[in-house]
A = this chain, B = another copy of it.
C-alpha cells in the first residue's frame, strides 16, 4: 500500500514563506526582502541573458529545519524573529505551493522547492534584525484591487481591453468559451459585480494572458533554458506589465494574491482585524483597517451597528482626543464574541449550500 516513507529518497526541499501584514495610515502593507541572486532564479542577472524585468522583490523566506523545530510554525517564528526582529502573534497557514512552474529554472532531476506559506498579522512597524526587510503597500502589487477611491481606472483603460482581446484570439472554441467565462466571473463583467475575494482568479488570468511582468520573465527564462533565442517582446507589453504593479521573484506575487483573497474572505466571518489594531481603538480606526484590507468603502453608521449590536466590541468609557471633530469613544474587542454564534459566522443551519 504505502511505501515505507523512512526509506523514501526525496528530491524536494521544504521552505517557509511568510506573508507578514500590517495596516498603517490606511495602507495595508506587507513585508518584503531584496533578493539579489541568492534564489535559484539568479541566472537571470547573469550576463548570458539580459533580463527584461526586474524581479528582485521577494517575500521573506526561510528553510524549514526539522532538527531544531518541533512544528512548521515554530520554525517560521524563529527565522522571522532573526531576520526582522518581529515577534509574530497571529499566524495562520495559507497554502502549500509545490508546482514545478513556480521556479522556471528547476532542472529535470533538481530538487523541487515546496514552500508552505504562512500569514501573520502584526501591529508594529519598526524593524530590526539582520535583513534588509521593508514594508510595501500591498496594492503596489495589485493596483486593480483597491476600490476605496472608486473603480480603479486601470481596469477599463488597460485590463479589460487587453484581456478581452486575449480571449477572442484563442483558437480552440471550447477553450475560448471557458476563458470568456473565467474572465467574466473574475472581473464581474455581466450580471455579477466585482467579487473582492477573487484576487487569485484575477491574477491568474492576467498571468496567463501574458500581461503581468512575471509572465514575460518566465517566457524569457523558458526560452533561455531551451536554447531558443530571446522571444520578441514589444515595448508595449513591458509598458503594460509595468502599469500592472511591482513584479516579484518566483511565484511570490501569486502567493500574495492567494493571501489577499484569504484575508478578505476571513474578514466576513472571523474577527481577524483585531490583531492589526492596538488594544483599544475608535470605531473609525477599526473601519479603516477593514476597508484597507477589503479595498472598499463601507457605510459608517451601518458598520457601527454591525459591530456594536453584534457584540464584537465594547465601549471602554474613555475617549480619543486627537481627532478633529467630536471625540470618538475608545472600544475594545470582546473576546467572548468568538463563542457567540452571531459574531463568528452564521453557522451551518443557515446553510447556503
Q: Which residues of A are interface residues toward B (Cβ below 8 A)?
A: 1-6, 8, 10-15, 33-35, 38-40, 58, 60-64, 66-67, 70-72, 83, 93, 95-96, 98-101, 108-114, 116, 130-132, 181, 184-185, 191-193, 195-197, 264-265, 267-269, 271-273, 286, 290, 294, 296, 298, 303, 306-307, 310, 312, 336, 338-341, 343-353
Contact = CB atoms under 8 A, between A and B. Distances in A.
Nearest to A297: B349
Given A93-B96, A273-B353, A348 B267 contact: yes
Contact of A5 (B1, B13, B71, B290): B13
13 contacts: A1-B83, A6-B110, A14-B14, A66-B111, A72-B114, A96-B116, A193-B347, A195-B341, A268-B347, A268-B351, A273-B353, A290-B351, A307-B353
Contact of A72 (B62, B93, B98): B98
A306 B273 contact: no
A6 B40 contact: yes
Given A14-B12, A95-B93, A306 B195 contact: no
Contacts of A14: 10, 12, 14, 98, 114
**Centre residue among A110, A111, A271 by max chain B CB count within 10 A:** A111
A66 B112 CA distance: 6
- What is the predominant secondary structure among interface residues of chain A facing chain B? loop
Given A192-B339, A347-B196, A5 B12 contact: no
A191 B344 CA distance: 14
Contacts of A339: 181, 184-185, 191-192
A46 B299 CA distance: 66
A184 B339 CA distance: 8
B268 A346 contact: yes
Contact of A298 (B8, B99, B100, B349): B349
**CB-CB nearest 3 A-B residue pairs:** A66-B112, A185-B339, A72-B98
Nearest to A59: B2
Given A269-B352, A306-B351, A61 B2 contact: yes
